[in-house]
């Protein structure tokens, strides 16, 4: 049975928690329980919770205070207050504090189930709206398309131009963070389907028991929690493009259904005996050796042959170093505007470090590094000290045998030695200065020079 969602029950009386948990588990919910509300938010206990049922009067943080702390934490999880001491004023206070519903004990299982169904539906609608907004935001962010000037990137664009108008299935291969999603959207934008939906799904992020429903949809009543008909991603992408990222994560049952859609253009929704026809262009992507997955019997060989019609290899950033300054400039402009920071350009040494670094996280890592640096930089030029320590350290290690850029190499080694001295001295500046053979005043200068004043050093 597919789970209807996860409910957290917060009540100081054990028999109330246990009886509610028994009722809800029988109705298909996953249940967690807690006797107190005090530490739920800081401990991360709300992660993965779809709805909360809480008592009003409890020792420590009561239900109303719990609601207010959830609002302060900007939690969007719906909360149902279930109390044996209900009054009109307390109901008003709870609703004003953000409660989804206010029920009196003893509440019938049917009443509680109805309230939970409404709460879950609202939560699902919010998630779908967030998905759509994220998709639109991604379209705006990538409207100018991926950028690059390197021969490796020009080869990717040549393959995109060959694949886009052919309407055939495309397989994108590359390390994590190389921009496979952006290339997939570029294929869509240059195809005859560009005015139709582009639907992006990460196969690794979908629970196994929801996989078929997510991709192929379901009929009302087909399983516990299916309170209405729902279109799956294939139907949403009708006449457009479906991008399946981390396609190697698909379970075997879903692989067979996807193969049938690609071959016949039809599938059945969960709980439906009538086939649904779709016209969808599929773009798949993964960051593992898919052929090895086939040999290990984890991925269907016939599906592999079906999606491996046009393969585009996305090179890692270390193999397209000419593109690093271009991408860095684009990200600098994006975050300068978004974060309202004064920085407008790169110091030459900063670009040298960025270009020499190996970028194991590829474009995603570069984007994150630039965002962090723009946030930290206080001048209009992005200086090397605003870059993370690992960029300095790993660049120095990688560059030592190959480069003669003395300034970069010495700065990185100087920073490494300072870090080591702080580590060995436990962050005590006086001891660190002794290890380095300098006085504390000079140590303060070097720490400030390398942006290490907040790196655990103390007087």
In terms of domains, do 162 and 309 share one? yes
Whether residues 157 and 272 fall in one domain: yes
Q: d(Cα 303, Cα 254) in Å, to the nearest integer?
A: 11
What pLDDT score was predicted for residue 186?
Answer: 94
- The reply to whether 455 falls in a domain is no
Report residue 358 as tokens: 């190996």
Helix (H) or strand (E) holding 285: strand 281-286
Are 326 and 311 in a shared domain?
no
* Judgement on whether residues 201 and 348 belong to the same structural domain of the protein: no
Residue 459 lies in a domain: no
Look up the CATH number of the domain holding residue 292.
3.40.50.300
Kindly state whether residue 136 falls inside one of the protein's structural domains. no
One domain, residues 301 and 174: yes
Q: Which of 290, 315, 340 is the last residue of a domain?
A: 315
How far is residue 117's CA from residue 257's CA, in Å, rounded to a whole number?
A: 30
Domain contains 457? no
CA angle, 179 then 183 then 188, to 5°: 150
| Contact indicator for 10, 53 with CB cutoff of 8 Å | yes
| DSSP states of 119-174 | HHHHHHHHHHHHHHHHHHHHHHHTTT-----SHHHHHHHHHHHHHGGGT--EEEE-
Nearest Cα neighbor of 46 from 60, 32, 36, 28 is: 32
| Residues 75 and 172 occupy one common structural domain | no
Same domain, 236 and 373: no
Residue 256 host element (H or E): helix 252-264
Q: Are residues 330 and 373 in the same domain?
A: yes
| Cβ 193 vs Cβ 241: under 8 Å | yes
Rg (CA), the chain: 28
Does 130 map to a domain? no
> Which of 315, 336, 359 is the last residue before a domain boundary?
315
Q: Of 72, 82, 133, whose CA–CA distance to 104 is shortest?
A: 82
Whether residue 116 is found in the same domain as residue 40 = yes
The pLDDT tens digits of the residues spanning 269-292 come to 777 666 777 889 999 999 988 999
Task: Determine the pLDDT at residue 52.
Answer: 92
Q: Which residues, in sequence order, are CB contacts of 251 under 8 Å at separation 6+?
A: 208, 211
Number of CB atoms found within 10 A of residue 69's CB: 17
Same domain, 344 and 358: yes
| DSSP string for residues in 181-237 | HHHHHHHHHTSTTTTS-EEEEEGGGS-GGGHHHHHH-B-TTSSTT--S-B--HHHHT
Q: Do 253 and 328 reside in the same domain of the chain?
A: no
Segments forming the whole domain that contains residue 150: 142-315
CA dihedral 215, 221, 224, 229 (to 10 degrees): 40
Write out residues in the chain with pLDDT < 70, as ranges.
1-4, 44, 47-48, 123-145, 221-222, 224-229, 272-274, 389-390, 392-409, 453-459
Q: What does the pLDDT read at residue 125? A: 65
**Total number of domains in the chain:** 3
Copy the structure tokens of residue 290. 């898919």
CB of 63 closer than 8 Å to CB of 83: yes
């Amino acid at each position: 049975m597919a789970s209807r969602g996860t409910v957290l029950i917060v009540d100081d009386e054990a028999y109330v928690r246990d009886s509610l948990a028994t009722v809800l588990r029988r109705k298909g919910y996953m249940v967690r329980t807690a006797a107190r509300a005090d530490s739920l938010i800081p401990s991360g206990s709300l992660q993965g919770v779809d709805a909360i049922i809480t008592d009003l009067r409890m020792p420590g943080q009561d239900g109303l205070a719990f609601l207010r702390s959830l609002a302060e934490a900007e939690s969007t999880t719906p909360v149902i207050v279930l109390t044996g001491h209900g009054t009109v004023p307390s109901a008003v206070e709870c609703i004003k504090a953000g409660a989804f519903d206010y029920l009196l004990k003893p509440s019938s299982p049917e009443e509680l189930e109805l309230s939970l169904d409404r709460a879950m539906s609202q939560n699902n609608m919010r998630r779908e709206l967030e998905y759509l907004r994220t998709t639109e935001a991604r379209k705006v962010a990538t409207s100018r398309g991926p950028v690059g000037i390197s021969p490796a990137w020009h080869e990717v664009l040549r393959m995109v131009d060959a694949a886009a108008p052919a309407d055939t299935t495309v397989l994108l291969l590359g390390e994590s963070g190389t921009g496979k999603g952006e290339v997939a959207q570029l294929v869509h934008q240059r195809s005859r389907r560009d005015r139709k939906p582009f639907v992006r799904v990460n196969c690794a992020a979908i629970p196994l028991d929801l996989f078929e429903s997510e991709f192929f949809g379901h009929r009302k009543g087909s399983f516990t929690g299916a309170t209405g008909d729902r279109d799956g991603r294939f139907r949403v992408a009708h006449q457009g493009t479906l991008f399946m990222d981390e396609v190697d994560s698909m379970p075997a049952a879903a692989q067979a259904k996807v193969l049938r859609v690609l071959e016949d253009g039809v599938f059945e929704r969960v709980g439906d005996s009538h086939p649904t026809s779709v016209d969808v262009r599929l773009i798949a992507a993964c960051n593992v050796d898919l052929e090895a997955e086939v040999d290990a019997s984890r991925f269907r060989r016939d599906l592999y042959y079906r999606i491996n019609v046009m393969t585009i290899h996305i090179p890692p950033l270390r193999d397209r170093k000419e593109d690093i300054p271009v991408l860095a400039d684009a990200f600098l402009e994006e975050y300068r505007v978004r974060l309202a920071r004064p920085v407008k350009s790169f110091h030459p040494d900063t670009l040298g470090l960025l270009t020499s670094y190996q970028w194991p996280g590829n474009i995603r890592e570069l984007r994150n590094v630039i965002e962090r640096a723009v946030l930290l930089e206080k001048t209009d030029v992005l200086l090397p000290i605003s870059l993370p320590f690992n960029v300095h350290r790993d660049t120095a290690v990688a560059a030592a045998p190959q480069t003669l850029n003395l300034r970069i190499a010495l700065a990185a080694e100087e920073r490494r030695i300072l870090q080591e001295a702080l580590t060995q001295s436990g962050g005590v500046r006086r001891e660190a200065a002794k290890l380095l053979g300098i006085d504390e005043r000079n140590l303060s200068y070097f720490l400030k020079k390398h942006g290490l004043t907040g790196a655990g050093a103390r007087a």
